[in-house]
Structure 1
C-alpha cells in the first residue's frame, strides 16, 4: 500500500492546530473575560481553573508550527513573510501572558500590572490569530516560490471580521469552561456571560460563513456547486445541531454540555475551512503536494511523529484527568 505522505502530514498538522485552538482557546478566553469578573479573588479563581494545564496546551502550537517548517517548507516560506507582524504580535502576547501568569501570584505591589498583562497578552494573541486566519482564508499572493504581496495585505475588513469572531469564540470557550469548573457566584456569572457571548458568536459565524464563499470562485463552487455542495451542506446542518445543544445546555444550566457544544462548534467551523481550502495548503494556488518536502524527509519525520503525538495525547489526557472536577475558592496550584 502506497501512503500519501503529504496528505498524512497535512492531517497531522491540521489536528495539531485544532488541538491548540481548542485547548489554548479557553485559556485565552479566561484572559479575555478577566476584566469582567467580579473582583481579584474571582479573577484568581478563574486563573486557577487553567493553572495545571495552560502551558501544556501550547505544546500543540509548537508541534503545528514546527511541523509546517519541517514538512511543508515552501508553505512556511510563503506564509511567514505574509504574516510576520501577526506572528510576532501573537508570540509576544503569549509570552507576556505566560510571564504575567507566573508573576501575578508573586507580587503585591505590581499585582494589578500583571493582571492587566494577563488580559492584554490574551487579547493581543487572540486578535493576531484571528487576523492571520482571515488573511489566509482570503488568499496569499504568491510570486513564483515566494510571497508576492505587500506588507499590509493581511489587514482587510474580512480579516477584521474573523479577528472579532475568534476573540468572541475564545471568550465563549472561556465562559463555558468557567461553567464547567466553578461553583456559586462565579458559575452564575459565567452563565450570564455565556448567553450574550453565544448570541454574538453565532451572528459572527453567520457573517464569516456568508462572506467566505464570495472571496474566491473556487470557494463558491465547493459550497454551492454540484455535487460538492451536497456534501458541504453536512457542515452547516451539524453546526445548527451544535448551536441547538449549546442553547439547551445554557437554558437548562447544565455544566458540561455548553462547553462540549462550543468545542463542537469550533470543530465544525474548522471543518468548514477544510471544505474551502482542500486540496490547497495556502490559498489560492499552493497545494499540499506542491508545498511538501521530499518523501524521504516526510517518512523519516513520520517515525518521530508516531512516537511524539501519542505521547503528547497521553500526558495531556492524564493532566486533565488528574485535575478534573470543580475548582473552589482557596484552591491553587501556584
Structure 2
C-alpha cells in the first residue's frame, strides 16, 4: 500500500490555513476593534501587542497558497479564476494594514488619524473579503473541462456577504480575547466588556451557518444528518455549546489567557464543522482532492521541501512569541 500523497498535502494545506486564521485573525481583529477605542494611548498599546509578530503570521497564508499551487494545480487555477476580485481586494486590505503598522508610529500626531483609518479599513476589508471568499467557495464552483465556467461576480450572494460579516465578528472576538491576555487595567476591562456580546454574536453566526448551509446544499445535509454520521458528528455542536458557556464564564472572572484559548477552541470547532461538510472535495461540490492532485512525482518532490520548511516556521514562530511574551503596558513598544 503506497503513501497517499494527496491526503498528506490536504492535511498540510488545512493546517496552514488554520494557522493563518488563528495567527493573523487576532491582529486583524485588533484593527477592527480600533474603531471602538478612540484613545491614542490605548491604540498604541493595542498595536504594540502584535507589532513584533504580525508580519510573521502571514507566512501561513503564503504556505497555503504555494501548497495549493504545488499539490492541487487544478484547484489553484479554478479557485483563483473564480475569486480574483475578492482576493485582490483582500490583498489591498492587507497592504493598507501592513503600511499602517510601519508608518503609524512615525507619523506626526496631526496626521496619525490617517494611518489609524488605514489600519481599520485595511483590517475590515481583508477580513470581510476572506469571509466572502469562504462563503462563495462553500456555495460551489461551476467547473467545465477543468476550467472555471462561472462569471466574474458569482462570488456575490447573500450567503457570501453573511459569511464575510461573520468572519468580522469572529476576528473581532479573537482580537478582544488576545487583548485581555496581553493588556491590563482599563483597556483589559474594556476588552472583556466588548468580548461578551461578540461571543453571543459568534454563537448566532455558528447557529445560522449550521442551519443555512444544509438547507442550501442537500449533500451537506445528507453528510451531517444521515445515520450513523449523525452520531459521529454530534459531539461537535455539543462541544461548541460547552466552549461558549465556559468562555462566558472566564470573561466574567479574572483569568487572562483562558478567554483567548477558548476562542481558539471555538474557531477550531467551526473549522472542523466546515471540514466535515466539504471533505473530501477541494472544489465544491464534487471535485475531490484526488481528482485535483498533481502528478505523484511533483507531490513527492514538493513534500520533501514542505517537511523541511514547516518545522523551521514553527520554531521561529514559537521563539518570537516566547521572546515577546507577557503584558504590554502604556509606554512599551517596539519601534
State whether TM-score is above 0.5: yes
Taking the aligned partners of 1:216 and 1:142, their CA distance within structure 2 comes to 17
Taking the aligned partners of 2:169 and 2:255, their CA distance within structure 1 comes to 21
Deviation at 1:213, TM superposition (A): 1.2
TM-score relative to the length of structure 2: 0.98
Taking the aligned partners of 1:248 and 1:8, their CA distance within structure 2 comes to 38
In the TM superposition, what are the counterparts of 1:137-286 in structure 2 within 5 Å?
137-286=138-287
Q: Which runs of 4+ in 1 moved over 6 A?
A: none
Q: Which runs of 5+ in 2 are unaligned?
A: none
Deviation at 1:110, TM superposition (A): 2.5
Taking the aligned partners of 1:308 and 1:2, their CA distance within structure 2 comes to 24
Deviation at 1:228, TM superposition (A): 1.4
Q: Which runs of 5+ in 1 are unaligned?
A: none
TM-score relative to the length of structure 1: 0.98
Contact kept, 8 Å, 1:6 with 1:288, in 2: the verdict is: yes
SS in 1 for 2:35: helix
SS in 1 for 2:83: helix
> CA RMSD, aligned part only?
0.9
Taking the aligned partners of 1:161 and 1:233, their CA distance within structure 2 comes to 25
Which whole-Å deviations, capped at 9, do the CAs of 1:139-192 have from their partners, x for residues lacking one?
Answer: 111112011111211111111111111000000000000100000110011011
Taking the aligned partners of 2:71 and 2:4, their CA distance within structure 1 comes to 13
Taking the aligned partners of 1:318 and 1:157, their CA distance within structure 2 comes to 42
Deviation at 1:38, TM superposition (A): 3.9
Contact kept, 8 Å, 1:245 with 1:257, in 2: the verdict is: no
Residue in 2 aligned with 1:8?
Answer: 8
Taking the aligned partners of 2:143 and 2:233, their CA distance within structure 1 comes to 28
Deviation at 1:71, TM superposition (A): 1.0
Deviation at 1:308, TM superposition (A): 0.5
Residue in 2 aligned with 1:83?
Answer: 83
Deviation at 1:231, TM superposition (A): 1.2
Which whole-Å deviations, capped at 9, do the CAs of 1:297-331 have from their partners, x for residues lacking one?
Answer: 00001110111001101111111111111101000
Report the number of matched residues: 334
Asked if residue 328 in structure 1 is aligned to residue 329 in structure 2, the reply is yes
Taking the aligned partners of 2:231 and 2:3, their CA distance within structure 1 comes to 28
Taking the aligned partners of 2:161 and 2:174, their CA distance within structure 1 comes to 20
Residue in 1 aligned with 2:318?
Answer: 317
Taking the aligned partners of 1:245 and 1:299, their CA distance within structure 2 comes to 43
Which whole-Å deviations, capped at 9, do the CAs of 1:69-127 have from their partners, x for residues lacking one?
Answer: 11110001111111111100011100111011100011114211111000100000000
Asked if residue 22 in structure 1 is aligned to residue 22 in structure 2, the reply is yes
Taking the aligned partners of 1:291 and 1:242, their CA distance within structure 2 comes to 36
Contact kept, 8 Å, 1:141 with 1:149, in 2: the verdict is: yes
SS in 2 for 1:50: coil
